[in-house]
Amino acid sequence: MGKKRYCMPDPQAAITDELLMQHIEQGSRVIDLGCGDGRLLEKLRDDHGCSVQGVELDLSEIYSCIGRGISAILMDLDQGLSSIPDDTFDIAVLSQTLQQVRHPAAVLSEMLRISRRALVVVPNFAHWRIRQQVVLSGRTPVTQSLPYSWYNTPNLHFMSMADFRELAGRLNVKIVHEIPIIAGRSRRRAWLPNIRAESLFYILERGDTDGSAESA
Amino acid sequence: MANDDSEFIPDDDSIGFVETQQVRLFDPPNELCLESGVRFGPIDVAFETYGTLSPEKDNVIFVCHALTGDAHVAGWHAGEERKPGWWNDFIGPGKGLDTGKYYVICANVLGGCKGTTGPSSIDPKTGKQHGLHHFPFITVGDIVKVHSALVEHLGITKLLAVIGGSLGGMQVLDWAARFPDQMAAVVCLAAAAKLSAQGIAFNVVGRRAIFTDPKFNKGEYYDDPDGPRVGLALARMVAHITYLSDVSIEDKFGRRLQHSSHFKYDLDQETEFQVGSYLHYQGKRFVERFDANSYICLTHAMDYFDLAEEHGAIRQALENCNANFLLASYTSDWLFTTAQSLEIVSELVNGRRHVSFVELSSSKGHDAFLLEIDPLVQLVRPLLERAQLEMAEQRQKEAGENAGDNHDG
């Protein structure tokens, strides 16, 4: 008891939204998968003139979206996005959710089917303090904003930067940008990012048809 | 009011006593041009209104009723037919459609039998009831044109919302396609862009039951005090099953017997099971309030409805409507499925429309849209508030533009 565990940064932190806003062009057609109460989409609509659509699993969040005038569809990402046609969006956003879906590879593929570009924020479970915690305490790390134990965590998958790159290659997904978030700040260049980054911000596009995915 | 109404007080959270009003539209030579090509008029429209129209006329909600509904959607009718409106739990002071804030209109559909011109109403040209063969074929589009004309007649240019479920939801979709600028929000519950083949099949059986009733007499039965009661009751019994779900029937009746705890082994026993006597009761009650010719007329309208057909695709049908769409389906509804709602959602998303969609959990089958009031309130309240805000912004913008024009002039 009382043992300090390393805490991952709050996934709802303004930094993530800011970073997403920076990489979404004015007037884009944007879908946010796991849009919550629609706050990010509201900002994109009002400040960026974007045409926005939310997808959310929690009905009570949909009520909030509607109150903001944000269109939202009640949908489980693991059931697929089949009712959303191909190439409907410029940008699909998935923030701190990929580790929680049952089939991350399928969700990534679906994102790049419905959208030209995907912006994905994932936690880096290979951060050195997590490694240290696992090695020294011999216990599953617990995060600050998701203070769950191993038996009730919504996080189903624990991936690292290296893992994500590997999956992108396997799915023929092109990593256009890979931005480590270290100490709550995005870093264009970082030394040992797979050890130092708490989260990673990815801009993804469909890979070349010949199957050669670019690794960043 | 006569009778002993002084003693009767409606449930105190309702709007209280209401009355159906009537207006005559499409007087010759301005008859309505029906989709079938026939010109038809005059048309009497029965409607009810609740709440107060705002000075800006920006608080109007139009409710479209389903197959066998009527204009009496909220409050109570006085007199012998003392009963609450069919959506009284949803509409009233402080309720989902808050009559303290909004002005709610509901009208009986063209072809119906509750005050709006239909096969059983008197044809002013002959002084006799139309009957089936002197009444034109009615479509959902025709019904919507009459609703829209009523709204115009009441001096309202833009509705805050149109709301409806089932056949009412089809009207809502048609309205958004036909008059896309006439509403700020569209609420479509347990509906579809077209009736499924299964749905048509059930309607065929219902009509067959009426057609084969010896008292139907090709729809000319208004001189007969009975008319095709048996056929119409049977049609309703079959249809009623489609409004429930396997779970809701099981929960309500199971295999319980009506009058006994054991079988009688009597082949003449028609309603030994509770579910049987319930359906018989539903059929019997229905014929007291509904006209067989109207049933034929309106099920045909439902069968013919196909939003995509007229415009090439659902997307094209709704591409000019900037309203906020809200669609809802119900998990146990097998007459109008979630997949059918998602078909519309898909096309709206593809067409860059504003669309929210939820599949609500319910065991109540197709009837869920009438019964599951709480989630509906949670969805519709913020939608209406938002729509009113957007309408006010729009009005301000237009006023600003007009002021600008005047300066230039």
In A, residues 65-124, which contact B (CB 8 Å cutoff)? 65-69, 71-74, 83-85, 88
| Whole-number pLDDT of residue B8 | 67
Report if residue A122 sits inside a domain. yes
* pLDDT greater than 80 at residue A184: no
Element (H, E) at A120: strand A115-123
* pLDDT greater than 80 at residue A208: no
In this structure, how many other beta carbons lie within 10 angstroms of the beta carbon of residue B278? 18
More confident residue, A149 or B93: B93
Q: What is the DSSP letter of B84?
A: B
* pLDDT greater than 50 at residue A154: yes
Separation of alpha carbons A156 and A95, rounded Å: 15
Are B68 and B286 a contacting pair, CB within 8 Å?
A: yes
Cβ neighbors of B403 (< 8 A, separation 6 or more) are none
How buried is residue A103: exposed, middle or buried, by Cβ count under 10 Å (0-12/13-18/19+)?
A: middle
Torsion of CA B47, B51, B54, B58, to 10 degrees: -60
Residue spans of alpha helices (H) in B45-113: none
Identify which of A66, A85, A88 has the shortest CB distance to residue B379.
A66
Please report, for residues B66, B177, B291, B295, the alpha-carbon distance to residue B298 in angstroms, rounded to integers and kept in the order given: 10, 20, 11, 5
Cβ <8 Å between A83 and B346: yes
- Closest to B378 in 3D by CA, of A176, A29, A30, A58: A58
Report if residue A212 sits inside a domain. no
Q: Please, which pLDDT band fits residue A190 given cuts at 50, 70 and 90?
A: confident
How buried is residue B282: exposed, middle or buried, by Cβ count under 10 Å (0-12/13-18/19+)?
A: middle
| Residue of chain B with shortest Cα separation from A64 | B382
| Whole-number pLDDT of residue B61 | 98
| Whole-number pLDDT of residue A216 | 39
Task: Tell the CATH topology of B196-304.
Answer: Rna Polymerase Sigma Factor; Chain: A (1.10.1740)
Q: How many CA atoms lie within 13 A of B139 on its CB side?
A: 18
| Whole-number pLDDT of residue B381 | 97
Q: Please, which pLDDT band fits residue A149 given cuts at 50, 70 and 90?
A: confident
Are A121 and A96 a contacting pair, CB within 8 Å?
A: yes
- Partners of residue A202 on adjacent β-strands: A120, A178
Cβ <8 Å between A84 and B386: no
B384 to chain A, minimum CA–CA distance in Å?
Answer: 9
CA angle A32, A33, A36 (to 5 degrees): 80
| Whole-number pLDDT of residue B168 | 98
Torsion of CA B388, B390, B395, B397, to 10 degrees: 160
| Whole-number pLDDT of residue B373 | 97
- Closest to B205 in 3D by CA, of B175, B181, B235, B233: B235
| Total of domains in chain A | 1
Q: Which residue type sits at A204? A: L
In A, residues 20-39, which contact B (CB 8 Å cutoff)? 29
* pLDDT greater than 50 at residue A211: no
Instruction: Using a CB–CB cutoff of 8 Å, tell me whether B383 touches chain A.
Output: yes
Separation of alpha carbons A156 and A131, rounded Å: 18
Contacts of A84 in chain B (CB under 8 A): 346, 349
Q: Mutation test of the interface with chain B: which of A76, A83, A110, A113, choosing the one with the most B Cβ atoms within 10 A?
A: A83
Cβ <8 Å between A71 and B352: no
Cβ <8 Å between A71 and B389: no
Cβ <8 Å between A62 and B355: no
Report if residue A100 sits inside a domain. yes
Q: Please, which pLDDT band fits residue A198 given cuts at 50, 70 and 90?
A: confident
Separation of alpha carbons A137 and B358, rounded Å: 45
Identify which of B343, B356, B389 has the shortest CB distance to residue A73.
B356
R_g (Cα) of chain B, nearest Å:
22
How much is the average pLDDT of A89-114?
Answer: 94
Identify which of B357, B375, B386 has the shortest CB distance to residue A69.
B386
Active site residues of B: 166, 333, 366
Are B274 and B258 a contacting pair, CB within 8 Å?
A: yes
- Partners of residue B22 on adjacent β-strands: B46
Domain that holds residue A200: 14-206
pTM value > 0.80: yes
A73 to chain B, minimum CA–CA distance in Å?
Answer: 5
Report if residue A6 sits inside a domain. no
Q: At what angle do helices A14-22 and A39-48 cross, to 10 degrees?
A: 40
Instruction: Using a CB–CB cutoff of 8 Å, tell me whether A172 touches chain B.
Output: no
Q: Which residue type sits at B192? A: A
The CATH number covering residue A61 comes to 3.40.50.150
| Whole-number pLDDT of residue A141 | 77
**ipTM, 2 dp:** 0.91
β pairing state of B324-330 and B183-189: parallel
User: pLDDT 10s digit of each residue in chain B, 409 long?
Assistant: 344 445 666 766 889 999 999 999 999 999 999 999 999 999 999 999 999 999 999 999 999 999 999 999 999 998 866 789 999 999 999 999 999 999 999 999 999 999 999 999 999 999 999 999 899 999 999 999 999 999 999 999 999 999 999 999 999 999 999 999 999 999 999 999 999 999 999 999 999 999 999 999 999 999 999 999 999 999 999 999 999 999 999 999 999 999 888 999 999 888 899 999 999 999 999 999 999 999 999 999 999 999 999 889 999 999 999 999 999 999 999 999 999 999 999 999 999 999 999 999 999 999 999 999 999 999 999 999 999 999 999 889 988 888 766 554 3
| Whole-number pLDDT of residue B173 | 98
Report if residue A5 sits inside a domain. no
Q: How many residues does chain B have?
A: 409
How much is the average pLDDT of A136-140?
Answer: 83
Instruction: Using a CB–CB cutoff of 8 Å, tell me whether B355 touches chain A.
Output: yes
Report if residue A75 sits inside a domain. yes
| Whole-number pLDDT of residue A142 | 74
Report if residue A99 sits inside a domain. yes
High-pLDDT (> 70) share of chain A, %: 88
